Amino acid sequence: MKCRKCGGKASINMRQHRLALCKEHYLEWIPEQTERFIKKYNMFSRDEKILVAVSGGKDSLTLWDILNRLGYQADGLYLGLGIDEGIGYSHESQRLAEKFANENNLKLHIVDIEKTYGQSIPVLSEVSHRGHGKPCAVCGLSKRHEMNRIARDLGYAVLATGHNLDDEAAVLFGNTLHWISDYLLRQGPVLPEADGLARKVKPLCRFYEREMTAYCLSRGIEYIYDECPFAEGAKSIYYKELLNQLETTRPGAKLIFYLKFLDARKRGDLFIEQDVEKANLHLCNKCGQPTSAPDLCSFCRMIEKANSVIVSEV
């Protein structure tokens, strides 16, 4: 297989795009495409400050690397979740996020959930009894809350995450399967800013996961190979496997599924009523982020509950 650009030996063949490239041209093609998506979806402009959510995994480090290579003003945010599970998961992912920041002279904000709120994510999950024995519900809630808080408090125009096409197609598949209309309406490359909420963008949402792995390895970026130990058995992983089976027989199926959904949403063809809850949103008394709950938002309520349980147990 030959590189389409230079005729040299191709190192990656992307059947879904009918495109094969050598390493050098692949490392040019990925940022070019990213720039195209940033413009196409109006994600952000050159004079806006971007906060990249960095987990130490390949996608978020790849995103940070690309934005940096493209000359955007992108700082990182690492959230210390306090997940150990015998493999020092959080410790290792933080080390790799810091290593990347240091090597590239980039600014990385670190927020340690336990130091900031008194408890790690697994402990918060246990004492708040959310999420049926798995910390993912509390983790997701905390990540959304903290990313938004830091973006807003430190004056970033936009929050960027490293979700790739495999992530987005799996989420779309799950939301379609359960017909979760509110999520379907909000899924897309850009979630505009709203009262108290920063704009959220996903510049890698049209790249396959294997394309991101190839980029990360070709750039020599060291990332955490292990998934979070709590990801095991997650529905999203099962959906990814199903979609990969489909992709094997029909290259491009995942991309078409996602892009056709975006088209339908843009045309207003989803036939979904707007969520009435939006009208009832107000700002949380404690943190100022929007919520539909009467007093405190879900995150602040969880922290209050967790701390009161722990104090009463002492």
Q: Which residues bind ligand Q46 (CB under 6 A)?
A: 135-136, 139-140, 228, 230-231
Q: Which is nearer to ligand Q46, 150 or 228 (CB)?
A: 228
The Cα–Cα gap between 246 and 244 comes to: 5
Q: Does 302 bind Zn ion (CB under 5 A)?
A: no
Alpha helices by DSSP H, the chain: 23-40, 58-69, 89-103, 113-117, 121-128, 136-153, 165-177, 181-186, 209-218, 235-249, 253-267, 298-313
Q: Which of residues 22-61 bind Zn ion (CB under 5 A)?
A: 22, 25
Q: Which is nearer to ligand Q46, 8 or 140 (CB)?
A: 140
Among ligand Q46, Zn ion, none, what does residue 300 contact (CB within 5–8 Å per kind)? Zn ion
Q: Which is nearer to ligand Q46, 139 or 297 (CB)?
A: 139
End-to-end CA distance of the chain: give it in Å, rounded: 66
Residue 237 beta carbon to ligand Q46: minimum distance, rounded to whole angstroms = 10
Q: Does 147 bind Zn ion (CB under 5 A)?
A: no
Q: Which is nearer to ligand Q46, 233 or 294 (CB)?
A: 233
Q: Which is nearer to ligand Q46, 14 or 141 (CB)?
A: 141
The Cα–Cα gap between 173 and 187 comes to: 11
CB-based contact 58:39 (threshold 8 Å):
no
Among Zn ion, ligand Q46, none, what does residue 286 contact (CB within 5–8 Å per kind)? Zn ion
Among ligand Q46, Zn ion, none, what does residue 140 contact (CB within 5–8 Å per kind)? ligand Q46
Residue 135 CB contacts under 8 Å (≥ 6 apart), including other chains: 83, 121, 122, 124, 125, 126, 230
Q: Does 4 bind Zn ion (CB under 5 A)?
A: no
The Cα–Cα gap between 207 and 174 comes to: 19
Among Zn ion, ligand Q46, none, what does residue 283 contact (CB within 5–8 Å per kind)? none
Q: Does 264 bind Zn ion (CB under 5 A)?
A: no
Among 297, 302, 303, 306, binds Zn ion (CB under 5 A): 297
**Which tokens is 312 given?**
């009463």
Q: Which is nearer to Zn ion, 19 or 255 (CB)?
A: 19
Q: Which of residues 273-292 bind Zn ion (CB under 5 A)?
A: 284, 286-287
CB-based contact 65:104 (threshold 8 Å):
yes
Q: Which is nearer to ligand Q46, 194 or 231 (CB)?
A: 231
CB-based contact 27:215 (threshold 8 Å):
yes
Among Zn ion, ligand Q46, none, what does residue 96 contact (CB within 5–8 Å per kind)? none
Amino acid at 209: E
**Which tokens is 44 given?**
């952000």
List C-alpha distances in Å: 314 to 50, 66, 82, 310, 311: 42, 48, 21, 6, 5
Among Zn ion, ligand Q46, none, what does residue 230 contact (CB within 5–8 Å per kind)? ligand Q46
Contact residues: Zn ion, CB under 5 A: 3, 5-6, 8, 22, 25, 284, 286-287, 297, 300
